[in-house]
Amino acid sequence: MNAEDNTANGGGRGGGAPGRIVSRREGDVFVMGIDRPEKYNGFSPNMFDELATTYQAYEDDDGARCALLYGEGKHFAAGADLNLVDLDFNIFPDGVVNPCNMGPIRRSKPLVVAVQGVCFTIGMELMLAADIVVAASDTRFGQIEVARGVLSFAGGTFQMVERAGWGNAMRYLLTGEEFDAKTAYRMGFVQEIVAPGEQYAKGMVIAERIAAQAPLAVQATMASARTAMLEGIPAAVADLPATVTRLRATEDFAEGMLSFKEKRDGRFVGR
């Protein structure tokens, strides 16, 4: 089922600047697209605003249980369009979800990203801030900021180290060199590699599978894992008793137990 298209059309800081973020619901999946293919999906100022407000729309949509982010055309995202964007630290607006997990408002629901072609700088940082990444085998990755006199400041420095370890991250952060999908997979940046053109379909399969699970349990799983990463395992362990008690009191827990006994898939309602 395709719900209403919620395409964003300018109106951010760019005030009519080129490019846009498109969004729509496909069943329980909230689909977001980076739409400036004639410029390799290079971000203009308004696109940063629109992406953040679209992430917030996903967060606020109670019927959306998983999101899928993709790039229109042959490429995912070539980074910021330096002809239009001032490389200011505050590239995303305040008061809404920060797509790179750099602000006080963070996404609480799962996100799958499908990438292809060029995936540089902000494109790669958006990918690293997601939960699961599907890449076309021809994808080219790169954090190339050092060649422009700046550093990766939307999460690349620590996201890459966290996933790949110091040496593997520095190998590419300090040289600005590109790397391929197999290397991205080896370093844990990508979870699945598919043939070119199949990344969106595979990403949707994964998103739909996630959306079919009990949403409160999915969100609790993400929250527990995030607490362990940010605050340490003892903090995550300390939270578990209250989390389990809360989930056991939900309608979805009762449905999960019943569906197990009846040998069928659960029909979860998010309560």
pLDDT digits (tens, 9 = 90+) for 222-270: 999 999 999 999 999 999 999 999 999 999 999 999 999 999 998 999 8
Q: What distance in Å separates the CA atoms of residue 211 and residue 19, rounded to the nearest whole number?
A: 29
Q: Which domain holds residue 247?
A: 215-261
Domain match, 27 and 128 both? yes
Same domain, 47 and 151: yes
Among residues 194, 211, 228, which one ends one of the domains? Answer: 211
Q: pLDDT band at residue 15, thresholds of 50, 70 and 90?
A: very low
Mean pLDDT of 178-200: 98
The pLDDT-based confidence of 86 (bands split at 50, 70, 90) is low
120 domain residue, yes or no: yes
With beta carbons less than 8 A apart as the criterion, state whether 222 and 65 touch: no
Kindly give the pairing relationship between strand 111-115 and strand 192-194.
unpaired
Please tell me the number of Cα atoms within 13 Å of 22 on its side-chain side.
Answer: 14
Other C-beta atoms closer than 10 Å to the C-beta of 263 total 6
Torsional sign, CA 87, 140, 35, 93: negative
* Residue 47, token pair as written in the block: 């696109």
Asked whether residue 1 is domain-assigned, the answer is no
Q: Is a pLDDT exceeding 70 seen at residue 85?
A: no
Query: Are 150 and 252 contained in the same domain?
Result: no
CATH of the domain at 235: 1.10.12.10
DSSP 8-state secondary structure symbol assigned to residue 80: B
Q: Report pLDDT digits (tens) over 36-77.
A: 999 999 988 899 999 999 999 999 999 999 999 999 999 999
DSSP 250: S
Q: Are residues 231 and 192 in the same domain?
A: no
* Separation between Cα atoms, residue 238 and residue 216, nearest integer Å: 19
Which of 148, 149, 146 is closest to 157 using CA atoms? 146
Question: In terms of domains, do 231 and 201 share one?
Answer: no
Residue 9 is assigned to a structural domain of this protein: no
Region of residue 179 (left: phi > 0; alpha: psi -120 to 50; beta: else): beta
Structure tokens, 200: 């969106």
Whether the Cβ atoms of residue 86 and residue 14 lie closer than 8 Å to each other? no
The total number of structural domains that make up the chain: 2
In a domain, 190, yes or no: yes
Please report which helix (H) or strand (E) contains residue 253, including its range: helix 251-261
Q: What is the pTM of this model?
A: 0.89
Task: Please tell me whether residues 42 and 160 are part of one structural domain.
Answer: yes
Which structure tokens are listed for 99? 């797509």
Running DSSP on this structure, what letter comes out for residue 43?
B
* Together in a domain, 63 and 122: yes
Residues 176 and 252 occupy one common structural domain: no
Q: Are residues 147 and 253 in the same domain?
A: no
Tell me: do 207 and 225 sit in the same domain: no
CA–CA distance, 80 with 140 (Å, rounded to integer): 16
Same domain, 149 and 253: no
User: For strand 118-120 and strand 140-142, is the pairing parallel, antiparallel, or unpaired?
Assistant: parallel
- Domain shared by 224 and 174, yes or no: no
